[in-house]
Amino acid sequence: MASHQNLEEREVEVWHRTRIKVILGINSSPVVAEDVSIELSSEKDMQGANLTGLRKIEDGSVVSNIHTAKWRVFTDNGRDFFLQGKHEEAEKFFLSALQEAKEGFGERDPHVASAYNNLAELYRIKNAFDQAEPLYLEAVKILEESFGPEDIRVGAALHNLGKFYLVQRRLEEARMSYEIKRRVLGHSHTDYADTMYHLGTVLYLQGKAKDSEILIQDSIKIMEIYIKSNQLAEAENLQRKILHVMELSKGWNSLDTVIAAEGLGLTLQSVGNLREAKDLMERCLEARKSILPEDHIQVSFPTA
């Protein structure tokens, strides 16, 4: 059974290597869409992996007093209301949490930075940009003072600052935030490829299509590493992003999009998500039929 599974994983890896060569070689052309979406959803942002560094600050509290207890309750309540879309209620709790964090942990404590970040994210969603920016910047400053500029928690705060600038099309500031975050994370971090994806988006919007394409290509190379090391959840997440870019930029009338979708389909099959894999592969086959001649060999590409 184990040998069969290893064989299947090797087959998936070989398939991906072949398709990656096609994407990076024969079909090499800019893959970022002119109308690429930069709207960011509030609920997913608050729960997303890029807040992990800041959530660890909250979850790792060791100071205990009446203020820190209130801070914990106010933070949880604020986040709950935020995720429900009840922004006015969330703002009240986040403001209270910020005050309790200052009194319970100290003005320059990382918990205060986390409270600033929560409030800034809320203001960003409400388009209250003038209120959000100083909070983001103060959060980054406190975290740099506490942990140094190369710490992962600083990287998480910079990611949020980059999103803030990107939404406003303040592209050079967004680029700088993502560049610093990329350096802080390093190649081995699971968020590195995601950071390159966002940085590639910024570069494309700046008219730097070639630089943008290089970052997307690097993301694909990281995807190959994920698959080779059997980190399929990370590979799936990155493949979904790549497919999204392909759909926006080239649509389903392009073999590049089909190839990206087939790669995702095989990964979904490997992790046991058979229904979605089957649906996706069937769509790929239909797309191939519409793109290629009826007697073309690639029209019979396996969808199992």
pTM: 0.60
pLDDT value of residue 130: 96
Domain segments of the chain as ranges: 1-30+216-304, 33-185
| Residue 140 burial (CB count, 10 A) | 24
Residue-wise pLDDT for 183-237, tens only, equals: 877 766 667 777 777 788 888 888 887 887 777 777 777 777 777 777 888 888 8
Residue-wise pLDDT for 285-299, tens only, equals: 998 888 877 655 554
| Percent helix, percent strand, percent coil in the chain, to nearest 5 | 80, 0, 20
Judged by DSSP in three states, 207 sits in: coil
**CATH 3.10.50.40 is right for the domain spanning 33-185:** no
Q: What CATH fold (topology level) applies to the domain 1-30+216-304?
A: 1.25.40
Contacts of 142 (CB under 8 A, 6+ apart): 108, 109, 110, 112, 113, 116
- Could you tell me the two tokens for 36? 């690429």
Find, among 16, 12, 7, 30, the residue nearest to 246 by Cα: 30
> Do the domains spanning 1-30+216-304 and 33-185 agree at the CATH topology level?
yes
Mean pLDDT (10-residue bins), the chain, 304 residues: 48 47 36 37 43 52 76 93 93 96 93 94 94 96 91 87 90 88 72 76 82 76 75 83 75 86 90 92 90 62 45
**Residue 135 half-sphere exposure toward CB, CA atoms < 13 A:** 22
R_g of the chain computed on alpha carbons: 22
Is-contact 263 227, C-beta < 8 A? no
pLDDT value of residue 25: 35
pLDDT value of residue 86: 94
Is-contact 212 196, C-beta < 8 A? no
pLDDT value of residue 187: 65
Place of tokens 């429900």: 84
pLDDT value of residue 58: 57
Burial class (CB in 10 A: 0-12, 13-18, 19+), 127: exposed
pLDDT value of residue 276: 93
